[in-house]
Amino acid sequence: MPPHWPFSRSLLYPLTAVLVALAVVPVGMLGWGFVTSNREQVATLEKQYLTRQSVGLASEIELRFLGSVGRLRTAAEILRSGAKGPLDGEAASALLRDLAAGSPSTVLLRLLDDAGKGTFLQGAGLSDEALRRLEPRLGNVFTATLQGEPVNELIERLPSVGSVILVSLPVRDAQDEVVGVLQGVVALQDIASLLVQDSGLGVTVDVVDHQGMVLFSSDRNRVGRDARANPLVAQFVRRPVRLTMTYQDPLRGDGSEMLGSLCPVGDPSWAVVTARDVDVAFAAVNAMAARSFLLAVLTGLVAMLAGIMLARRITLPLRKLADVTTAVAGGDFTQRAPVASRNEMGQLAENFNVMTDAVDRYVRSLRQALQENEELLIDSIRALAAAIDAKNPYTRGHSERVSQYAVAVAHHFGVKGRELKQVEIAALLHDVGKIGIEDAILLKPEALTAEEFAQMRNHVVKGAAIVSPIKRLKDMLPGIRSHHENWDGSGYPDRLQGDAIPLVARLIAIADVFDAMTTDRPYQKGMSLEAAMERLRAMAGQRLDPKVVDAFFGAVRAGDLVPIARSEVA
């Protein structure tokens, strides 16, 4: 089964990504640059437009204001040059009528002498209620004007006429003495209409006074509100200068970003603020950005499809070759790479197949040599064990039988592979140390003395010493040295206990005991299988590992372990 190719290991994904990037990045960068450039140009044009609009409106308001208030000032100067007595009579009435005719927005005119008597002219648009509300203010400013101070006062939301400017001007004689007062009330409805006319899509126009209050606006809901939180208005309150900037309008309350421009009016001390919603101002640019993004996405999808097809065409032969090399690296030398073309990939696959053929032949020869080596080693070990066993006619074939028994028990214990081979060889060599035991002790037919038994016990240490210089047999040492250790710790040579005894030694121990019980010896007759199994069951937990005993019984029940013919006495 070919291996799975995750994202981090496959060339398909980064190669596709590179191809997509090569197609999308230039389009994206071009679109981004184009949109950025256009946004900057639109921002510049919007600032210029709003600046021109605020300047134009400021000039228009100032001209309209001066057109009405300026006539009153001119009339006051005319009266100064010709005043010689009380300011009443037909001449005063004619003057007021001329002023009213030349300024339709003037809704009230009064020409009073220093005693407060004189001529009064009321326009048709001024209601009686509005006049009653004006009377207190007219009286207050009359007194101030007699002191020689002209007064311009804004009065908001007057019934029938809306916001008005109350103008009170001193009238002087030839000796510059104040002899009367010229008062006029000028309606400002035309200014509010002007703001509405000049407001466009997304554009708000406000007129604020020097305290930051909105006097007029294209949005009626803003009139009369404090706009000092607006950074443009805040700057005007501190210092009246022209200013254009981007900000958040506090009177909107929606957090939207505005592009605004402020221009002081001059006379009166008002300012015009024109502002456009940035989203509206940049609507065309945003639409262009959306189209550029859509184009980049479509280009990316096309590039992705093309990239995947091209990347698969490039990476598929590599994947197949990688799958084959993985199988070969795992030991399957029957695999060959498909040669689908005559290009560089095809040549690479062909060369790999030639190399694999050579490696396969070389590995086969190595395996054969290794097998022959192992067979030679085991045959040599068997010959050595047979030679040791042959010194005593009662132990002839003992090591071979112990090896077979131990392998059968190990198999049922779950030992596999290389460890099973170690059990086989260690069992063959478990008594190799008897080479160093004197024949008088080794071949003695009767029971050994305590001193002789102590020397006999030493065969496990000698066996380990004999085998230890051989590097290939170092894994056999635990079985040779420790196969006479007892599960309860009463064995030799190290008095190991329980699981501290190597498994290979525990497996050899039960095979050694079983063979000793089922073969004839000078001091005993070989037991039957049933009797031997009964003895082994009794030894479980004392001399033998209980789990190994269970594995032994399992091997017997399965027919994998049967007593071999009793040893022949030579």
Question: Residues 146, 172: contact at Cβ < 8 Å?
Answer: no
What are the domain boundaries of the chain? 390-557
Q: How far apart are CA 526 and CA 535, in angstroms?
A: 13
* pLDDT tens per residue across span 526-545: 888 899 999 999 999 999 99
* pLDDT tens per residue across span 440-493: 777 777 777 888 888 888 889 988 898 888 888 899 899 999 999 999 999 999
CATH of domain 390-557: 1.10.3210.10
Q: What is the pLDDT of residue 31?
A: 62
Q: What is the pLDDT of residue 570?
A: 29
Per-residue pLDDT of the chain in tens (570 residues, 90 and over written 9): 444 445 445 656 676 677 667 766 776 676 666 666 666 777 777 788 888 888 888 888 777 777 777 778 887 777 776 554 445 567 777 777 887 777 777 888 888 888 888 888 777 778 888 888 888 888 888 888 888 888 888 777 778 777 788 888 898 887 888 888 888 888 877 777 777 776 666 788 888 888 888 888 888 888 888 999 999 999 989 988 888 888 888 888 777 888 889 999 877 788 989 888 887 767 666 776 677 677 767 777 777 777 677 766 666 776 677 777 777 777 776 777 777 666 766 777 778 777 877 877 877 787 787 776 766 667 777 777 666 666 655 567 888 899 999 999 999 999 998 899 899 988 888 888 888 888 777 777 777 788 888 888 888 998 889 888 888 889 989 999 999 999 999 999 999 999 999 999 999 999 999 998 998 776 678 888 899 999 999 999 999 999 999 999 999 999 998 887 544 432
The residue type found at 428 is L
Sheet holding 214-217, edge to edge: 214-217, 203-208, 271-277, 257-264, 243-248
Question: Residues 176, 148: contact at Cβ < 8 Å?
Answer: no
For residue 2, say if its preceding peptide bond is cis, omega within 30 degrees of 0: no
**What count of other Cβ atoms lies within 10 Å of the Cβ of residue 367?**
10
Identify the three-state secondary structure at position 226. Answer: strand
Identify the three-state secondary structure at position 183. Answer: strand
**Does the global pTM surpass 0.75?**
no
In this structure, are strands 151-158 and 271-277 parallel, antiparallel, or unpaired? unpaired
DSSP state of 133: H
Burial pattern 301-335, b for ≥16 Cβ within 10 A else e, equals eebbeebbeebeeebebebbbbbbeebbeeeebeb
Q: How far apart are CA 499 and CA 502, in angstroms?
A: 7
* pLDDT tens per residue across span 18-68: 766 776 677 667 666 666 666 677 777 778 888 888 888 888 877 777 777
Question: Residues 408, 510: contact at Cβ < 8 Å?
Answer: no
Look up residue 338 and give its two tokens. 């498909």
Question: Residues 99, 61: contact at Cβ < 8 Å?
Answer: no
Q: What is the pLDDT of residue 86?
A: 47
Task: 23-28: list long-range contacts, CB under 8 Å, 24+ apart.
Answer: 23/299, 23/300, 23/302, 23/303, 23/306, 23/307, 24/296, 24/299, 24/300, 24/303, 27/292, 27/295, 27/296, 27/299, 28/292, 28/296
Q: Identify any residues that bridge with 119 across adjacent strands, giving them in sequence order.
A: 111
